[in-house]
């Protein structure tokens, strides 16, 4: 860098800027993350020419009712997006390397090109030949699906202008660069500028653009939170690399709910949707084993039955282990304190392991009572009846508090063929339509002690 040229040091994790080098970023605490970059004045952009930007009364603004979304046809994917792809939206898909991001988007590109017209797949990491090999294996060889390998942002915009696709996919944003920015591809400046230009291009040309982003070892998007602020929707594809199941989760969505979740199964022909996740998650549930309980949880707009597992064993360590997978660690510590204080269980010398089977993560408090019962079942080594489903929030006084969407949870319980359901006492008054069901016994629970006495009888 020329000595006469101004420079700035920018953190590559959070975007913090400093005019001198620092060993540790004052904002995010990262070590050796500040990289020297050329300082340039911020460019000024506008989505519309100045004469077209006119303030209007909100009552005079017309809503385009006929502006339909692009339906992919994969119900799990459409649900997570809020009903389909909004024309002109910018969607970020993140996930660990090898999790299946490129595979999923190549399948979606094939479906969209068959239904709506031209789709352009831009790869900055693979050649068209490599993509063709994957497409042949997946059976995604639509005539209107175009491929190109390119890293220059200006050339990419020319391709978009010439082909005019309905949807474009860029794999990945960390390898795209704008040559007016002197920093290397993948830096904060490059990612922010390239994503900003793609956002303006998508809005002005009504092209829906998917951009793929890698995640760091800590599980966050490589490059910055500023990337999430620019885009309209952020999707994460989660799952263990050696597990066949993948979970697509929305963490930001300007056009729908952020609580939706889609479950896919990885196979030789790519990712296929799982239409009945409750059946999948309970398919390998062991019978006549203590510490295993079925709970009814809610993800977005649908109920899901999950298996809560607990293992309590004597510890030889001075400080017993507390390990959780799929549930909030601090919530489990709170539940253990309730069991010790309100029920009288002595767990100070016991290792406690709590797990949600199937790799799913559940954070809602309606899972509390199921965790209590799984721990109690393992601690007493008494099996809970396999036809029982349990849900409810646990308070610090040992009381069971009401939860929402009880009717939909019980409908899922009935559909899966369970015979007994433990729910909070306060939710019973709203279940008049289910009281006449002879094939399901619904039991209202007031306290943790009462639930343990009934379930472990």
Q: Which residues carry a binding-site annotation for ATP?
A: 95-102
SS3 348: coil
Residue 60: count other Cβ atoms within 10 Å of its Cβ: 6
The answer to whether 157 and 181 have CB atoms below 8 angstroms apart is no
SS3 60: helix
The sign of the dihedral angle between the CA atoms of 81, 87, 90, 93 is: positive
Angle formed by the axes of helices 368-380 and 329-338, nearest 10°? 60
Cβ proximity of 376 and 404 under 8 Å: no
Q: Are 263 and 359 in contact (CB under 8 A)?
A: no
Is 142 buried (19+), middle (13-18) or exposed (0-12) by CB count in 10 A? middle
Instruction: State how far the Cα of 202 lies from the Cα of 170, in Å rounded to an integer.
Output: 12
Compute the distance between CA of residue 71 and CA of residue 30 in angstroms, rounded to an integer.
Answer: 42
Positive or negative CA dihedral for 199, 93, 262, 257? negative
Binding-site entries? 95-102
Largest CA distance in the chain: 84
- Work out the number of other CB atoms within 10 angstroms of the CB of residue 113: 22
């Amino acid at each position: 860098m020329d000595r006469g040229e101004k420079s700035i040091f920018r953190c590559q994790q959070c975007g913090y800027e400093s005019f001198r080098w620092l060993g540790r970023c004052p904002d995010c605490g990262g070590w050796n993350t500040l990289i020297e970059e050329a300082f340039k004045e911020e460019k000024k952009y506008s989505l519309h020419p100045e004469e077209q930007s006119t303030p209007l009364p909100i009552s005079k603004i017309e809503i385009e009712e006929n502006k339909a979304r692009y339906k992919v046809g994969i119900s799990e994917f459409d649900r997570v997006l809020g009903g389909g792809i909004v024309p002109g939206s910018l969607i970020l898909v993140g996930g660990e390397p090898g999790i299946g991001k490129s595979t999923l988007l190549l399948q979606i590109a094939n479906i969209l090109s068959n239904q709506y017209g031209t789709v352009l797949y831009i790869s900055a990491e693979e050649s068209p030949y490599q993509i063709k090999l994957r497409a042949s294996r997946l059976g995604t060889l639509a005539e209107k699906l175009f491929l190109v390998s390119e890293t220059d942002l200006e050339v990419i915009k020319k391709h978009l202008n010439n082909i005019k696709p309905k949807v474009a996919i860029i794999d990945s944003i960390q390898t795209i660069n704008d040559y007016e920015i002197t920093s290397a591809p993948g830096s904060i400046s490059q990612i922010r500028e390239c994503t900003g230009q793609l956002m303006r291009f998508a809005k002005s040309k009504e092209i829906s653009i998917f951009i793929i982003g890698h995640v760091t070892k800590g599980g966050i998007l490589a490059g910055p939170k500023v990337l999430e602020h620019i885009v309209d929707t952020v999707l994460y594809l989660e799952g263990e690399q050696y597990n066949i199941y993948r979970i697509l989760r929305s963490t930001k969505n300007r056009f729908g709910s952020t609580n939706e979740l889609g479950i896919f199964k990885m196979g030789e022909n790519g990712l296929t949707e799982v239409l009945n996740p409750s059946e999948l998650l309970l398919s390998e549930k062991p019978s006549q084993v203590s510490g295993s309980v079925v709970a009814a949880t809610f993800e977005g707009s649908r109920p899901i039955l999950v298996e809560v597992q607990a293992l309590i064993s004597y510890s030889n360590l001075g400080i017993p282990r507390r390990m959780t997978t799929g549930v909030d660690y601090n919530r489990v510590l709170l539940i253990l304190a309730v069991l010790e204080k309100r029920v009288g269980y002595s767990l100070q010398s016991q290792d406690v392991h709590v797990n949600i089977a199937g790799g799913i993560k559940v954070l809602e408090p309606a899972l509390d009572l199921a965790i209590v019962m799984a721990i109690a079942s393992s601690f007493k080594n008494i099996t809970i009846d396999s036809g029982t489903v349990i849900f409810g929030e646990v308070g610090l006084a040992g009381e069971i508090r009401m939860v929402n969407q009880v009717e939909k949870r019980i409908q899922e319980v009935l559909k899966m063929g369970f015979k007994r359901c433990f729910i909070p006492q306060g939710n019973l008054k709203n279940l008049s339509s289910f009281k006449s069901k002879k094939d399901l016994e619904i039991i209202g629970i007031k306290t943790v002690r009462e639930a343990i006495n009934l379930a472990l009888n």
